[in-house]
Structure 1
Amino acid sequence: MPTVAPLDLDGHCVATAWLKDIPHFALADGVVHRLDHGHKRVEAHDGLLAAACDGGRLLTGGEDGKVTAVSPDGSIELLAEIGRKWITSVAAGPQGAVAFASGRIAYVRFADGRLREFQHPRSVEGLAFAPKGMRLAVARYNGATLHFPATESKPAELEWAGAHMGITFSPDGRFLVTTMQENALHGWKLADGKHMRMAGYPVKVKSFSWSSKGRWLATSGAPAAIVWPFQAKDGPMGKTPLELGTRGDTMVTQVCCHPVEEIVAIGYADGMVLAARFADSKEVLLRRAGKGAVTAMSWDAEGRRLAFGSETGECGVVDISA
């Protein structure tokens, strides 16, 4: 049976991450907690809004206009500071590059400290780096923009009416998918610009996660994890998604695919966490319902332990090998 090691914190958990096998929990108040031979904490921001993990560091952006990198030992490196502006999105890139956004500007900071700015007509909502090469995707109003930060080449524009909020590349780099302000996803097949529309959600999609080989994209936004197939050359077009972990009365708020197996951890609005297998929809209860919605989840590298956090500060680690 899975065992849960709880960590009760005070406040909304924005992100969880594993650094050198140590679970980290980033809270909205700007404090990053870690379980490393006891409970330790470090203050990264005066108000934390966004976070991403590059494997070795937890990258964070705050209400204080700062972008920081938190190391496994708790040390903090200031990567950038743009004055009294909110950093609303952060993404980890190749070769130590970091992207972050504030207002209408997307920034890319290279490993040598060089900073590039990319202006947009409307606010930048989401950021994602391509799995190969230095290519940055920006979610914006009426579509997405692809920048090539290491060169002076013109950006590529992908248009689709509406507000695009989150953004992700498929692990093989063939597809780009956005979450929308409406209850839908939109996607592009990058080779030919072909559109993919994934609609029918009862609420907005706020969480998405690719399976280990990129064959599936799991999403929140319904009383089940909606899992779209991406094996075919045109992605999910004409295909029916899987519906895993269906609960009639409770919305899925977070999804996190296992790093090795075709399994997804599913977090719900009542704090429950399930794991479900794509092949046969088999479910395992990882955590019973708590006091608030699950807002963050991440597996360790081996996929034996799952860190989770909630909007009420109920956090912890589930060990599935127990």
Structure 2
Amino acid sequence: MPTVAPLDLEGHIVGAHFLGDVPFFTSASGEVHRLDMGHKTAAAHQGLLASIKDEASNTLVTSGEDGKVNRVHADGRVELLAEEPRKWISVIAAGPQGAVAFGVGKEARVRLADGTVKSFTEQRTVEAIAFAPKGLRIAAARYNGVTLHWVMTAGAPIDLDWKGAHNAVTFSPDGRFVVTAMQENALHGWKIDVKPGEEARHMRMTGYPAKIKSMSWSVKGKWLASSGAPAAIVWPFSAKDGPMGKPPLELGTRGNIMATAVSCHPAEEVVAIGFIDGMILLVRFADEKEVVLRRPGKGAITSMAWSKSGKLLAFASEAGDCGVVDIAG
């Protein structure tokens, strides 16, 4: 049976992450909590807006209302990467070779490991940034689409246009697709591995009753799991044209209780699904078998992350009731 080690924190928790086997929890108030031989805390921001794991360096990257972009190391040390006084920075991404990207108004900025910053001006405010899995390339989501930039070369950017507001963006692990979450309760995708001169092909993934706040690729990128419905909606991406013409899996359906966070396992084709009432289910893609990892709690699940071994799952909630599930019990 899975066992839960609870951690009660105050207020809204933005993110749950693992660095090694140490769970980290980032709080909207600006603290970064870690369970490393006891509960330890580091002050990172005057108001924290976003946090992500940088896989390349095994650190966290955080941003906040204080205009700072920080790197938080495994020992809790906080390193300032960039500062934009009087700006709120809520858009960040971590890429290869120590590169970090962030959005400031209509600018997408990439800070390289040596401290050099490259800026790209978009048509509209940058709503989200993602790095491609190979090469220093970014996708910047904005109103009416996404723009792709090569960071180190002067090549012309590629515009992927689709009307509407795009609030999140991700590359597939094999780099063949770019997918955004939209304001209008839908995902939109582009197949970008096309022949020179060919246009990227569109994919519309609609029918969600709520906004999609969480997306997670399965191991090897065969599936893309998403929140925004009373189940995890999981689209197939293994075929040449991705999910075009194919229905999604609906995993962990719970009446009208919305899924708010999804996190695919690092080695198995299973997904952890967090719900608005604090419950967490683990569901296998092949046969839809479910295991309850956590019963309902005080608040909606905001974030989940697996340890590298896939034996531990950290979770965060908007009410501060967080914890770590040991799925082996």
TM-score when normalising by structure 1: 0.99
Cα distance in structure 2, aligned partners of 1:269 and 1:87: 26
Deviations 1:169-228 (A, max 9, x none): 000000000000001000000023010000000011110000011000000000000000
Partners of 1:51 and 1:89 within 8 A in 2 = no
Kindly provide the amino acid, as one letter, of the partner of residue 305 in structure 2. Answer: S
Cα distance in structure 2, aligned partners of 1:15 and 1:104: 25
Q: Paired residue for 2:23?
A: 23
Q: CA deviation at 1:135?
A: 0.4
Q: CA deviation at 1:87?
A: 0.6
Partners of 2:20 and 2:308 within 8 A in 1 = no
Q: Which runs of 5+ in 2 are unaligned?
A: 195-199
Counterpart check, 1:37 vs 2:43: no
Counterpart check, 1:268 vs 2:270: no
> Which SS does the other structure have where 1:255 is aligned?
strand
Partners of 2:28 and 2:49 within 8 A in 1 = yes
Deviations 1:267-310 (A, max 9, x none): 00000000000000000000000011000100000100000000
1:151 to 145, 153, 156: 153
Task: Compute the RMSD of aligned alpha carbons.
Answer: 0.7
Q: Paired residue for 2:165?
A: 163
Cα distance in structure 1, aligned partners of 2:31 and 2:190: 37
Kindly provide the amino acid, as one letter, of the partner of residue 128 in structure 2. Answer: G
> Which SS does the other structure have where 1:213 is aligned?
helix
1:117-266 matched pairs, under 5 angstroms: 117-192=119-194, 193-266=200-273
Counterpart check, 1:290 vs 2:297: yes
State how many pairs are aligned: 322
Cα distance in structure 2, aligned partners of 1:176 and 1:20: 28
Kindly provide the amino acid, as one letter, of the partner of residue 52 in structure 1. Answer: I
Kindly provide the amino acid, as one letter, of the partner of residue 80 in structure 1. Answer: A
Kindly provide the amino acid, as one letter, of the partner of residue 209 in structure 2. Answer: P
> Which SS does the other structure have where 2:221 is aligned?
coil
TM-score when normalising by structure 2: 0.97
Q: CA deviation at 1:121?
A: 2.1
Kindly provide the amino acid, as one letter, of the partner of residue 90 in structure 1. Answer: I
Cα distance in structure 2, aligned partners of 1:153 and 1:51: 30
Deviations 1:238-272 (A, max 9, x none): 10100000001200000000000000000000000
1:89 to 91, 104, 120: 91
Q: Which runs of 4+ in 1 moved over 3 A?
A: none
Kindly provide the amino acid, as one letter, of the partner of residue 198 in structure 1. Answer: M
What percent identity do the matched residue pairs reach? Answer: 65
Kindly provide the amino acid, as one letter, of the partner of residue 105 in structure 1. Answer: E
